[in-house]
Amino acid sequence: MSESDSPIVESEGATDRGEASPADPGRFGSLPPLLLLAWCGLLAGHFESLAFTVRKRWFDVNQFLWTTRHYPWLLPLVNLALFLLVGSLLAILLRAARERGRWWAARILCTATLLPGCWAVSSRIYAIAGLLFSTGCAVRLTPELARHPQAVRRAVLGTFPLLVALTLALAAIPWRDDRRALSTETAAPLPPTGTPNVLLIVLDTVAAEHLSLHGYSRRTSPTLEELAARGIRFDRAVSTASWTLPSHASLFTGRWPHELSSGWNTPLDGTHATLAEILTRRGFATAGFVGNRWYCSRDSGLARGFARYADDSFPRLTPFGKAELVARPLLGLQTASRFLEDWLAIEVQRPIVDWLTRQLQLNRRGTEDIRREFVAWLEARPQPERPFFAFVNLYDAHYPYELAEPSIHRFRSRARAERDANLLRDWVSIVGKSPTAEQVELGRDFYDDCIADQDERLGRLLDQLAERKALDRTWIIVTADHGESFGEQPGVFWHGTSLFQAQIHVPLLIVPPGGLEEPRVVADAVSLRDLPSTILDVLGPGGKSEDSLPGTSLAHLWTRPRGESPTATRRDVGPALSELIPLDAFGANPSEWVHAPAWPTSSLTQTGLSYIRRGKDGAELLFDLAVDPGQQKDLAADPASRPRLDAIRREIDRLTDGPLTPDRFRP
């Protein structure tokens, strides 16, 4: 690309006629075309980053970024690479057209510079509408730039170093924050000698009913069964919510969902202390490694208190997938392929689209990625003697129920799995209608495959930690944030759609350092809300009154007097309240969430009983879990249940300070 090919070199007369004219390289003072492309790329990236930041901070109802924290510097670099690569190729193609080619190149370059910021202003702007708007602006702006070539040259040469410096400065911010957190950790006094570690593992979207650990007919959890053989198994552990963020928020703060800010569009704020913050003050090394990049990401608020929090990575070409110039066309390609197949019955090469999507987008981080990061963190710790609190979120069982490679299908043959893979992609629309028994079996098979595969990979992680002697003085806690429904109740699927046991009954295993000689089983209904206070209890006094969290420690449930049966438990446990606040607390959910309840719902699980109340009209359900674990027979209308109902109503009102009605959530 020669200097005379600079894409915005035009004469005023040619511009007025809409025609090209011979370029005058002197008008730009020999401005190198590659420099111009680089400048436009950086400028487009910073415009995109700024538009996204402003939108999220002041205008977007959804307060989650759902992208990497590195986007302020990553987007300029990605756009720089795109402009240099595509711009150079385009220049070669247009070079043969000479003046006419330069006329087109100028407008294409200007459009491409404006387009990322336009798209980033709002996700609701259609891609074509944004393209047309940016093109219209470019058509009007380019002639004005051509009339002032020396000003353009001075602007490019003067601001290019500033754009580079700004990019580097933005890249240094996350590095500085990480170094500062590590410095604070290493400067803290060491806890008393012998203080144990804590490893908290959350199996995202793993229902207790789908684990052989709890009697499921398929062998899905041999690793968990091995852990249970030397620890404490809780047979009726209940999550505080049926979806990720409020469940994790309770797990970290010891508070009920209605006490917290965490919602479908709002992260956990800094009002209440977290377990990681308290353990950091106690001198623990703290680290989080998460697979759920949506509701466990750093901007969810769950990272507060962790010195290290790994929630993103950039394999393959995924950095390019962060940029609007790549993400929007990819989304259009996906939409077009689905439309052609589903509505026009035109066969497209969907595997090619899927392959391209996998190269450019990272929707989940697999257990293997988490394992490598966790082990690397352990081996690189500057103070190995400092006890650690590590939080691990494993996401492999979450929809779309895709097995990581290499892996095996245990409950659906590989041939059947490959045949049904396309059908599984349409699982969202399938369960929105009336799925057949075979279709429900399809989803369940894939889900169970993912649980079993994740269990095996979890075993490898624990084996690696054991080889490094990292578990010798470590409390291992394994649980799940919520379960998953597969039509056990008519029309109820997914999670975050009900408070039936399929979505809130979760596994809970606690293995003390070195394990127990005799395994324990706790039959009482317990809440995950009590886990933070349990962890602080088993670690011993912290020395400060503020280093405590609400809730009831579960430790007394596995301690017993000499001679007492190993399976015996005590009855003094905290309540097991669960809550579900819909996407829109005023009763109107987006159409794509038709399965979610339109009104707040609460439930109370007691030993042998499950009570569910809907906030809109006070509709009630009551089930005897001892004889009806599948919750098929509602006892709420049975006169014999009235005393129990009255007692449960009073308990829920006490816990929630009144019914969970939409009026409570009006701003």
Instruction: Tell me the pLDDT tens digit for each residue of 505-530.
Output: 999 999 999 999 999 999 999 999 99
C-alpha span between 97 and 513 (Å, rounded): 74
349 with 387, same domain? no
274 with 371, same domain? yes
Confidence (pLDDT) at 87: 86
pLDDT at 568 over 70: no
128 with 211, same domain? no
pLDDT at 564 over 70: no
341 with 275, same domain? no
Token pair, residue 58, equals 């002041």
Residue 79, CA distances (Å) to 89, 112, 320 in order: 15, 10, 8
CATH classification of the domain holding 589: 3.40.720.10
Confidence (pLDDT) at 209: 97
State the average pLDDT over residues 260-276.
93
Q: Is residue 193 part of a domain?
A: no
C-alpha span between 202 and 297 (Å, rounded): 14
Token pair, residue 59, equals 């205008």
482 with 544, same domain? yes
Q: Is residue 37 part of a domain?
A: yes
What residues pair up with 437 in beta bridges, in sequence order?
Answer: none
- Other CB atoms within 10 Å distance of the CB of residue 66: 13
222 with 83, same domain? no
pLDDT at 393 over 70: yes
- Other CB atoms within 10 Å distance of the CB of residue 166: 17
Total structural domains within the chain: 3
C-alpha span between 565 and 45 (Å, rounded): 66
Rg (the chain; Cα; Å): 29
pLDDT at 373 over 80: yes
Q: Please state which of the ranges 250-254, 459-463, 541-545 shows the lowest mean pLDDT.
A: 541-545
* Torsion sign across C-alpha atoms 319, 320, 324, 327: negative
Structure letter (DSSP) for residue 602? E
pLDDT bin (cut points 50, 70, 90) of residue 21 is very low
Q: Which of 20-34, 345-359, 368-382, 422-436 has maximum average pLDDT?
A: 368-382
pLDDT bin (cut points 50, 70, 90) of residue 593 is very low
pLDDT digits (tens, 9 = 90+) for 70-85: 999 999 999 999 999 9
State the average pLDDT over residues 180-192.
94
pLDDT bin (cut points 50, 70, 90) of residue 4 is very low
pLDDT at 92 over 80: no
Confidence (pLDDT) at 433: 80
72 with 123, same domain? yes
Q: Is residue 186 part of a domain?
A: no
C-alpha span between 268 and 320 (Å, rounded): 29
pLDDT bin (cut points 50, 70, 90) of residue 131 is very high
Structure letter (DSSP) for residue 468? T
- Other CB atoms within 10 Å distance of the CB of residue 666: 8
pLDDT bin (cut points 50, 70, 90) of residue 90 is confident
State the average pLDDT over residues 278-307.
96
Confidence (pLDDT) at 280: 95
Q: Is residue 462 part of a domain?
A: no
pLDDT bin (cut points 50, 70, 90) of residue 581 is confident
501 with 386, same domain? yes
Instruction: Determine the residue type at 21.
Output: S
535 with 555, same domain? yes
Q: Is residue 406 part of a domain?
A: no
Mean pLDDT score of the chain: 86
- Pairing of the two strands 474-479 and 485-486: unpaired
Q: Is residue 50 part of a domain?
A: yes
Output b/e per residue, 263-301; b: 16+ Cβ within 10 A: bbebbbeeebbbbbbbbbbbbbbbbbbbbbbebbbbbbb
Confidence (pLDDT) at 561: 56
Confidence (pLDDT) at 658: 62
pLDDT at 177 over 70: yes
Q: What is the value of pTM for the model shown?
A: 0.90
pLDDT bin (cut points 50, 70, 90) of residue 499 is very high
Confidence (pLDDT) at 301: 96
Confidence (pLDDT) at 572: 65
pLDDT at 279 over 90: yes
C-alpha span between 21 and 103 (Å, rounded): 9
Confidence (pLDDT) at 12: 41
C-alpha span between 77 and 90 (Å, rounded): 19
pLDDT bin (cut points 50, 70, 90) of residue 465 is very high
Confidence (pLDDT) at 302: 98
352 with 228, same domain? no
pLDDT at 571 over 60: no
Q: Is residue 509 part of a domain?
A: yes
Which has more confidence, 160 or 412? 160
C-alpha span between 169 and 167 (Å, rounded): 5
Q: Which of 219-223, 363-367, 420-424, 426-430 has maximum average pLDDT?
A: 219-223
Token pair, residue 318, equals 């995924």
pLDDT at 657 over 90: no
What's the domain range around 481? 199-313+362-400+472-656
C-alpha span between 656 and 658 (Å, rounded): 5
Burial of 200 (0-12, 13-18, 19+ CB in 10 A): buried
Which has more confidence, 425 or 368? 368
Return the percentage of the chain with pLDDT > 70, whole number. Answer: 85
Q: Please state which of the ranges 165-174, 328-337, 635-644 shows the lowest mean pLDDT.
A: 328-337
236 with 332, same domain? no
The residues, ordered by sequence, that sit 6+ positions from 526 with a Cβ below 8 Å of its Cβ are 234, 236, 237, 238, 508, 554, 557, 573, 574, 576
480 with 514, same domain? yes
pLDDT digits (tens, 9 = 90+) for 215-252: 999 999 999 999 999 999 999 999 999 999 999 999 99
Instruction: Determine the residue type at 283.
Output: G
Q: Is residue 120 part of a domain?
A: yes
pLDDT at 316 over 50: yes
Q: Please state which of the ranges 107-116, 195-204, 288-297, 586-595 shows the lowest mean pLDDT.
A: 586-595
**Last residue within a domain, chosen from 361, 392, 427:** 361
pLDDT bin (cut points 50, 70, 90) of residue 341 is low
pLDDT at 5 over 70: no
* Torsion sign across C-alpha atoms 237, 243, 244, 250: negative
Confidence (pLDDT) at 545: 55
